[in-house]
Amino acid sequence: MNAQAELLRIDDLCARVRPYLQPEQISQISRAYEFGAVAHEGQRRASGEPYIQHPLEVACILADMHMDHETLIAAILHDVIEDTPIDRDRVTEEFGAEVAGIVDGLSKLTQLEFESQAETQARNFQRMLMAMADDIRVILVKLADRLHNMRTLGALRPDKRRRIARETLEIYAPIAQRLGINQIRLELEELGFATLYPLRRKVIRQEMMRIRGNRKEVVDKIKDRIKRHLRQERLVAHVLGREKHLYSIYQKMKEKHTGFSGVNDVYAFRVIVDSVDTCYRALGILHSLYKPVPGKFKDYIAIPKANGYQSLHTVLFGPFGVPIEVQIRTNEMDQVAEAGIAAHWLYKTGDGAARSANKRAREWLRGILEMQQQAGNSEEFLENVKIDLFPDEIYVFTPKGEILPMPRGTTAVDFAYAIHTDLGNSCVACRINRQLAPLRTPLETGQTVEIVTAPGARPNPSWLTFVVTGKARATIRHYLKNLQIDEARTLGKRMLERELESHGLSVERVDPELVAKVLGNFKLENLERLYTEIGLGNRPAPLVVRMLLPEDLEPPDDPALARRRASANAKPPVPLAIRGTEGMVVTFPKCCYPLPGDSIIGFMTAGRGIVVHQQGCANVADYRSAPEKWIDVQWAPNVEREFSVELSLDVINRRGVLATIASAVADANANIEDVTISERNERNSNIRFVINVRDRKHLADVIRTVRGVKTVVRVARKKA
């Protein structure tokens, strides 16, 4: 490219911004171009063109969206920190802190190496969102950058093209939709679709061409008729008509598991009017012109989408038997629908849809950053964000009548976390339209949802099997992870103290230098971390105590001498008392379902803590090869919790037998957790119940009550 051509390109950018920017601002943009051209001197893209052409194209995309001059300067300079010797301080000195902040936020993590491409993608995305927290314009420049890269993919290797296209369809196009930037989102989808699925796109395009050949003038005829009808009613409107985009048709085919013939509404029309009142008048006129398809009307003006989008949507039975989709909106709503949060800069002084879109985008970003703080790693964070990008929406009401947009399939737990983290953590039940319902019940549009909480309640790990929002999933995982660490710390301290007592010592009496040495050997920061490691089963308490003993108390190599010294100086270790309140670091397996009153043994498992079995459990034999992992345990005197236990019942086949037995279990103050029925013959069946009881005595009461049912032939607890 020669200098004259480059000059024309910067002139072209200046021409695009002249209608809405001040002369001094345009002058700064020209200066930024000259600065960038010098910085990128000698650099070329894979296509062979001078590198400065790319940032200039990115700035032109943003100029068409009427972005402010600082954003355009940042777009021109967005690669200088990453690809040239220019640093942030120099950009700040030349163009100000705001521009430097945007440019720095866009700089990739090229100086870091990760184990996998997935981790690289996740960390880059995480960094970008963190930069968005400081200035949301970072994502606008990033989307424009991605759009120009997609337009010029042809110069890259096929495998790289496919990777970038997949990343675009999975992350960047949904982000553009989430932020309401429709004009960028549609082009990203079409370019990504063409690169990733060229054959599928070709087939759909051929089908579209075939239909267009048969109905070449359908769009123009319908558009003219709509215009004429609105004019007759003295309503001024701008009417646009188009075929639906190929990727949109492909997505609908995937969603409905149907072929092209199953997607009927391939024509879409937009009616743009001057006011909200006129939108509803236009809707009535169109419904009198063409019959509406039942259940296909959506009022996004009264209830805007989460990204601030507003419009009336209706599907009509058009001429030639073709369903047509019509969107009715005001001029400002149309601008927001196309530009999303970017419209905020065009309507900066307004207080309407553009400001609403910007506010909703920031609310979404705030939720994303909360997820980022709670995610275990970058890839888990990216997985949670993908869940939120971008599901179909439903609209539910809080008890105060506020409307909350939620993803389709959302449950009461998702709803609770969407309102506040503490509400989600303490919920125990919900009321849907004033009726009690299970927390896992999927919500529907128009329902009023009230969350019931209880003091001391906490998230249940089973919630992870049905929640659908990224925020709920990330918050539950974060809570359970921290809960397990707290429980492991408490258990580990008890185990260490128990071992020290057997040597006549306590934690307070151990030499601090020995403690520091042990922590250093294990690379742990403090004693609390050591307790956690012991409680999780990663560090056996006897081994830790051996390292903490002073030299005169160290167990000698002679076992006989060790026994004499132990009998003289200390008492044998007392079995660890199992209270039932240890949480996730003490588990009770389904192989033997141990209960208070049973003779039990503990087995340390790395990362899980103690697994408690009955002494006679068949699985205990598998642990004989690792006696160092055994731990003596006993039940505490007062265990205040319920445990699962399995009962096997042989019953006579009669109508209502299951209900009768369930009633008997309830009469014995026990709860049924699971039921499995297997038919033995025409006369008898076997029923397996998993019930919750407090101890062996409570279990005996249940068995006695169930035996009193006439249809029960035999009842027995599952053998260990």
Any idea what the CATH number is for the domain that residue 128 is in?
Answer: 1.10.3210.10
At residue 219 the predicted structure's pLDDT band, cuts being 50, 70 and 90, is confident
What secondary structure letter does DSSP report for 171? I
Confidence bin at 148 (pLDDT 50/70/90): very high
In this predicted structure, the answer to whether residue 163 has a pLDDT above a threshold of 70 is yes
What is the pLDDT confidence band of residue 191, given thresholds at 50, 70 and 90?
A: very high
- Which of residues 554, 574, 594 is at a domain's end? 574
- Whether residue 265 is predicted with pLDDT greater than 80 in this model: the reply is no
Quick one: which of 716, 473, 500 has its CA closest to 593? 716
**Average of pLDDT values for 308-313?**
86
> Which residues is 55 bridged to in the sheet?
none
* Banded model confidence at residue 386, pLDDT cuts 50, 70, 90: low
Q: What's the pLDDT tens digit per position in 633-662?
A: 899 888 878 899 999 999 998 888 888 999
Residues 35 and 83 in one domain: yes
Domain boundary pick from 153, 169, 200:
200
Question: Are residues 529 and 611 located together in one domain of the fold?
Answer: no
Return d(Cα 566, Cα 586) in angstroms, integer. 29
Q: What is the mean pLDDT of residues 703-714?
A: 92
Cα(82)–Cα(112) distance, integer angstroms:
13
Q: pTM score, two decimals?
A: 0.58
For range 27-40, the mean pLDDT = 91
Spacing of C-alpha 486 from chain mean position: 25
Share of the chain above pLDDT 90, in %: 22
- What mean pLDDT do residues 354-375 have? 58
Same domain, yes or no, for 651 and 612?
no
Q: How far apart, in whole angstroms, are the C-alpha atoms of residue 26 and residue 198?
A: 41
Q: What are phi and psi of 232, to 5 degrees?
A: -60, -30
Cα gap 501→588, rounded to integer Å: 27
Does 451 map to a domain?
no
Q: Is 339 in the same domain as 275? A: yes
Is residue 410 in a domain? Answer: no
Structural domains counted in the chain: 5
Please state, in angstroms and rounded to a whole number, the distance separating the CA atoms of residues 623 and 630: 8
Instruction: Name the least confident of 42-46, 318-322, 465-469, 713-717.
Output: 318-322
Strands 643-652 and 712-717: antiparallel
- Kindly report, residue by residue over 544-567, the tens digit of the pLDDT: 888 887 765 555 454 444 444 444
Per-residue pLDDT at 631 exceeds 50: yes
Residues 626 and 514 grouped into a single domain: no
Range with lowest mean pLDDT among 21-30, 261-270, 510-519: 261-270
**Do 609 and 713 lie in a common domain?**
no
> What pLDDT shows up at residue 131?
56
Q: What percent of the chain has pLDDT over 70?
A: 82
**b/e 243-256 (16+ beta carbons within 10 angstroms → b):** eebbbbbbebbeee
Query: Which pLDDT score, from 0 to 100, does residue 213 have?
Result: 60
What is the set of active-site residues? 82-83
Q: Which domain holds residue 704?
A: 643-717
Residues present in the chain in total: 720
Alpha carbon 525 to its chain's center:
32
Q: Are residues 230 and 150 in the same domain?
A: no
Averaged pLDDT for residues 704-714: 92
CB 63 within 8 A of CB 108: no
Q: What is the pLDDT of residue 527?
A: 86
pLDDT tens, 500-532? Answer: 887 778 888 888 888 888 888 888 888 888 888
> Is 394 among the domain residues?
no
pLDDT for res 699: 94
Q: What is the CATH number of the domain that holds 233?
A: 3.30.460.10
Using the predicted structure, report yes or no on whether residue 697 has a pLDDT greater than 60. yes
CA distance 131 to 317: 47
Which residue has 């220019």 as its token pair? 86
pLDDT of residue 646: 93
Q: Is residue 405 a contact partner of residue 393, using CB atoms and an 8 Å limit?
A: yes
* 144-153 mean pLDDT: 91
Strands 323-330, 267-273: pairing is parallel
**What DSSP state is assigned to residue 457?**
-
Tell me the CATH number at 713: 3.30.70.260
Average pLDDT over residues 579-593: 84
Q: Which residues of 269-280 are buried (b: 16+ CB within 10 A; e: fewer)?
A: bbbbbeebebbb
Exposure class string for 155-186: b at 16+ Cβ within 10 A, else e: ebeeeebbbbbebbbebbbbbbbbbbbbbbbb
Q: What is the pLDDT of residue 661?
A: 92
